[in-house]
Amino acid sequence: MALIGILSGRSPDESAELMAAFYGGLGETGYFERKNLTIENRWAQGREDRLQELAAELVNREVAAIAAVGGANSALAAKRATSTIPIVFSSAPIRSSWVWSRA
């Protein structure tokens, strides 16, 4: 069963609408939690100083990918925590050079 991590500086309540869309998109592509997918959530609850610790927890769990949501700081914490696990993020400054390609 695939294991993915979600990392957010926000709380689950603040992100309910976004997470509903996320789970809907997974379902549209054939992925369903507890059926063929396990999701590890890490919520900083507004304490962005915890993001690095939470990102490290996901890396230690050996997730297949990290969805860094709730702001650019989540993506940056994930990037600092790993150079091998794919990171999907919803917002980050384009000029930040966070994304590279082998192509």
pLDDT in tens, 65-88: 999 998 889 999 999 999 999 999
Q: pTM score, two decimals? A: 0.86
What is the per-residue pLDDT across 22-45, written as a single tens digit (0 to 9) for each?
999 999 999 999 999 999 999 999
Domains of the chain: 2-15+29-93 (3.40.50.2300)
Per residue in 45-71, pLDDT (tens digit) is 999 999 999 999 999 999 999 999 988
Does pLDDT of 95 surpass 60?
no
Mean pLDDT, rounded, for 89-103: 58
Q: What is the pLDDT of residue 70?
A: 82
d(CA 33, CA 40): 10
CA distances in angstroms from 48 to 66, 78, 83, 85, listed in the order given: 17, 12, 21, 21
Q: Residue type for 103, please?
A: A
